[in-house]
Amino acid sequence: MRRYALAGAALALIASAVPGAANDDVLKQTAKPEQWAIQTGDYANQRYSKLNQITRDNVKNLRVAWTFSTGVLRGHEGSPLVIGDIMYVHTPFPNIVYALDLKEDGKILWKYEPKQDPSVIPVMCCDTVNRGVAYANGKVFLHQADTTVVALDAKTGKEVWKAVNGDPKKGETNTATVLPVKDKLIVGVSGAEFGVRGRVTAYDMNTGKLVWRAYSIGPDDEILVDPEKTTSLGKPIGKDSSLKTWTGDQWKIGGGTTWGWYSYDPETNLFYHGTGNPSTWNPAQRAGPDGKPIDQKWTMSIFARDADTGVAKWVYQMTPFDEWDFDGINEMILADIKVGGQTRKALVHFDRNGLAYTLDRVTGELLVAQKFDPQVNWTTGVVMDKNSPQYGRPQVVDKYSTFKNGADVNTKGICPAALGSKDQQPAAFSPTTGLFYVPTNHVCMDYEPFKVSYTAGQPYVGATLSMFPAPGSHGGMGNFIAWDAGEGKIKWSIPEKFSAWGGALATAGGVVFYGTLEGYLKAVDEKDGKELFKFKTPSGIIGNVMTYMHGGKQYVAVLSGVGGWAGIGLAAGLTNPTDGLGAVGGYAGLRDYTNLGGTLTVFQLP
């Protein structure tokens, strides 16, 4: 395999590159509030709509306008897109894409159904989900479960090009959407539970040709960093910053996969992504030669990369030497907010580890790091003193460490559980209130590591988990919160029986929407969280609420179809409490409230 980007050439490129315009078509399409042209609403991942026909006063009158069955029964994450008169809807494996005519309540214009080998299904970690398609320049882009990247003609559904991004026989799969930026399509990869080495890859949007590839871990020229110019917390990362934190060749099967959400800042030409857990989940097998913890850079990190070259400007590691599977892949929301009385160009990230981070998105300076679920107990917090050698690091509470001198010890009562205080379900930001609206998990776990050997294409987990509601609270497994990212404080919180696993939507009408695992679409007041509307859809909601306008009317739409990690028991028919990496037992009660079924439900005012 040829080297995708030589270090010298790549670094020269970033030194000479002038920040350019983002993909003109994506900017053009996302500027139209009547459309929903990218999964995250816009490049900044704000998931905010300027549409205001539906308000806090009339949202109670919402009714179902029309529905559409996807024909697939596994977990439905992501959301539809709307471009003009056409809605594009996707499904979990086998990753069908539909083009629906909005002029005729969802008449099927075309259907694309890839022919994938079903052997990819057992290689997918936590259900066969997919977080949706992207649109740019008259093409619809799909990243399939088997890692095939496909460009489709948006009018006909015919293949324009396809590229293979990985090998499922090695455990490499995909669950994420893609990011179209300028003339490139940026994609990630899943599979850290199989020892896959994470990376982001850019393909030419017009031809499918590979342009560059940047790994999360390994040699400098493969992770595309400049030891002297790429910084972490304001300091150069130095030569072999990743290799020095791994023992031997462990980095080659070290995880750090990139299956989350990406954002992009056209002003700086930087795109942002997170990296996942180190492999294996047994921290004792990743300890240094002296038997002590070692950081395993750059897993569990936020990268800011140049969109043209992939070279990193800065990187920040949130959970060094992870002992709990707190993947750092959740969305990076870009917003200008006040921090300490000063408006900052911020990046806000709600991490699986239960901490909400506010950073300067240009420099990577850490501004705020606070718990967004009070039950988080594995850490006392992050050191914010810039003069301390521990600056930027979370301080681990020994009682909740799963690394006990190499012994396989069942550590009990860790909060949050491995699926985090928030998983991939995206938050929203309202520029009107300056608040972030966050669907969260309120779940703890017992965690017992065990020794595991690596075999390509076989699970490389090395831990048994059980999950349960956070004790001493409302008894439920979720909250929907409003968060002030400048102060690092919860403004209000709505308790939920199960995790709030549906992505949020904020609107100019003063209404915030989200979905629940039981299947409720809920609308609440952006100011105080007062419930204004709810409707129970045919199945649990793990999809993301979106809105659009057609024929002069504003619509709200959401995919329902229970599944994902929290709903894997229902989705895959599992009953052993420790299956699904511990989620089956924790969410066993979900069976009493919902069942399988993939449905798009579209709402409107009378």
The list of the chain residues with pLDDT below 50 reads: 1-20
Beta pairing partners, 394: 382
Q: Is 325 a catalytic residue?
A: yes
pLDDT value, residue 15? 33
Three-class DSSP category at 582 = helix
pLDDT value, residue 22? 60
Judge contact between 587 and 498, C-beta under 8 A.
Answer: yes
List the catalytic residue out of 265, 308, 325, 446: 325
Q: What's the whole-model pTM score? A: 0.95
Place of tokens 């003009």: 84
**Domain region containing 268:** 7-604
- 544 assigned to some structural domain: yes
Q: What separation, in Å, do the N-terminal and C-terminal C-alpha atoms of the chain show? A: 59
Q: Concatenated DSSP letters for 375-420?
A: T--SEEEE---TTSTTTTPEEEPGGG-S-BTTB---EEEESS-TT-
- 314 assigned to some structural domain: yes
pLDDT value, residue 475? 87
pLDDT value, residue 472? 84
CATH code where residue 328 lies:
2.140.10.10
Whole-angstrom Cα distance, residue 587 to residue 393?
Answer: 32
Per-residue pLDDT of 556-588, as tens digits, reads 999 999 999 999 999 999 999 999 988 999 999
| Joined tokens for residue 456 | 């390509």
Q: What are the C-alpha distances in Å from 98 to residues 91, 173, 410?
A: 9, 22, 46
- 155 assigned to some structural domain: yes
- 567 assigned to some structural domain: yes
- 1 assigned to some structural domain: no
Beta pairing partners, 344: 337
- 253 assigned to some structural domain: yes
- 2 assigned to some structural domain: no
pLDDT value, residue 12? 33
Question: Which residues does 487 contact at the CB level (< 8 Å), separation at least 6?
Answer: 368
pLDDT value, residue 407? 73
Q: What are phi and psi of 555, to 5 degrees?
A: -120, 155
Q: What are the C-alpha distances in Å from 476 to residues 270, 467, 564?
A: 39, 12, 19
Number of domains comprising the chain: 1
pLDDT value, residue 17? 35
Show the beta-strand stretches assigned E in 84-125: 86-90, 97-101, 107-112
* Parallel, antiparallel or unpaired: strands 505-507 and 48-49: parallel
pLDDT value, residue 125? 87
H or E element, residue 25: helix 24-30
Judge contact between 417 and 582, C-beta under 8 A.
Answer: yes
- 572 assigned to some structural domain: yes
Q: What are the C-alpha distances in Å from 434 to residues 31, 263, 359, 438?
A: 20, 19, 16, 13
